[in-house]
Amino acid sequence: MMRVWNGIAEWRQRRASMGSASVGVVPTMGALHSGHASLVDRCRRENEIAVVTIFVNPTQFNDPTDLDRYPQTMEQDLALLRELGVDDVLAPNAREMYPHGYRYRVEAKDAERIMEAKHRPGFLEGVMTVVMKLLNLARADRAYFGEKDFQQLRTVSEMVEEFFLTTEIIACPTVRTASGLAESSRNCLLSPAGLEKAAELYRVLMQADSAATATGWLEASGFRVDYVEEHWGRRFAAAFLEGVRLIDNVPLAK
Ligand code: PAF
């Protein structure tokens, strides 16, 4: 039977009771979709105990409206996780997660100010700080992250290496709808027409011959482009559609 832990002290007792069983964790902000389900599935297959965290982390939102609008679907999320056979859900509150406010944080001092780091100041620091906290609480053998948030995945992997954390970070492929749209918690904020159009983000990233062409094509089809950039053999984009910020990335053709 799946158990839900809201208090950190109770969770720590439960974690201590797991003994030497292998533990996997999937950190999430809720509003779960099939992308999360694939992470959970892999986590279940590779570990004796599968833990999911649900915490909408305020420190990674640079725009308070974005935080206010972020979808919260706790009852639905718990029903899905029960169906998926998750053992434990840790869903703490912000007061317990940040007992000293946001006084202590993890920063990458000379980090390349590119993409999300440039366009969402404080985002990566907020993510690193909360992931450090969640990994310390879960004390998992493995933690599962999607490649859709590639820069986040890369930063978290570096942080784990840098601080000698013992959790192995497992990268999992982006899950897409039949139209190619990357699954995202934000997709539920789009209208049916917006959902259809949003798939163009993936098509353009795949088909354009340069970042500049991709930007032009996206703008021509009604997206407001934050960036299209190429790094690490991949092409990345963030663009707004119907006021919703979508991100995606694809490997560059060799
Ligand atoms: O990818 C997310 O949902 C969040 O950034 C994460 C990793 C759960 C940290 O809040």
Residue to substitute in 59, 127, 184 for testing ligand 1 pocket (most ligand atoms within 8 angstroms of CB): 127
Residue to substitute in 25, 28, 123, 145 for testing ligand 1 pocket (most ligand atoms within 8 angstroms of CB): 28
Q: Which helix (H) or strand (E) holds 214?
A: helix 211-220
Is residue 254's pLDDT more than 80?
A: no
Beta-bridge partners for 248: 237
Q: Quick one: CA torsion of 173, 175, 180, 183, rounded to 10 degrees?
A: -130
Say if ligand 1 is within 6 A of residue 129 CB: no
Q: Which helix (H) or strand (E) holds 38?
A: helix 34-46
Residue 227 confidence (pLDDT): 98
Ligand 1 nearest atom to the CA of residue 149, by list position? 1
Q: What is the mean pLDDT of residues 140-168?
A: 98
DSSP characters over 168-195: EEEEEPPPB-TT-PBP-GGGGGS-HHHH
Whole-number Å distance, alpha carbon 146 to ligand 1 midpoint, is 10
36: annotated active-site residue: yes
Burial degree of 95 (CB within 10 A; 0-12, 13-18, 19+): exposed
| Helices then strands, each counted (H, E), the chain | 11, 10
Backbone angles phi, psi at 234, to 5 degrees: -130, 160
How far apart are the C-alpha atoms of 116 and 174, rounded to whole Å? 18
Ligand 1 nearest atom to the CA of residue 29, by list position? 3
Write the pLDDT tens digit of every residue in 189-248: 999 999 999 999 999 999 999 999 999 999 999 999 999 999 999 999 999 999 999 999
Check residue 62 and report its DSSP letter. S
Is residue 253's pLDDT more than 90?
A: no
Q: Where are the alpha helices (DSSP H) in 47-149?
A: 64-69, 74-83, 94-97, 116-119, 123-138
Q: What is the mean pLDDT of residues 36-60?
A: 98
The residue nearest atom 9 of ligand 1, judged by CA position, is: 127
Whole-number Å distance, alpha carbon 127 to ligand 1 midpoint, is 6
In the chain the first and final C-alpha atoms are separated, in Å, by 47
Say if ligand 1 is within 6 A of residue 167 CB: no
Is residue 111's pLDDT more than 80?
A: no
Whole-number Å distance, alpha carbon 135 to ligand 1 midpoint, is 12
Is residue 127's pLDDT more than 70?
A: yes
Superfamily of chain region 3-172: HUPs (3.40.50.620)
Ligand 1 nearest atom to the CA of residue 185, by list position? 3
Q: What is the mean pLDDT of residues 135-139?
A: 98
Residue 108 confidence (pLDDT): 86
**Which sequence spans correspond to the domains of the chain?**
3-172, 185-245
How far apart are the C-alpha atoms of 26 and 3, rounded to whole Å? 15
How far apart are the C-alpha atoms of 113 and 121, rounded to whole Å? 9
Q: Does domain 185-245 have CATH number 3.40.50.2300?
A: no
Say if ligand 1 is within 6 A of residue 131 CB: yes
Write the pLDDT tens digit of every residue in 83-97: 999 999 999 999 999
Residue 110 confidence (pLDDT): 66
Ligand 1 nearest atom to the CA of residue 127, by list position? 9
Say if ligand 1 is within 6 A of residue 127 CB: yes
Whole-number Å distance, alpha carbon 123 to ligand 1 midpoint, is 10
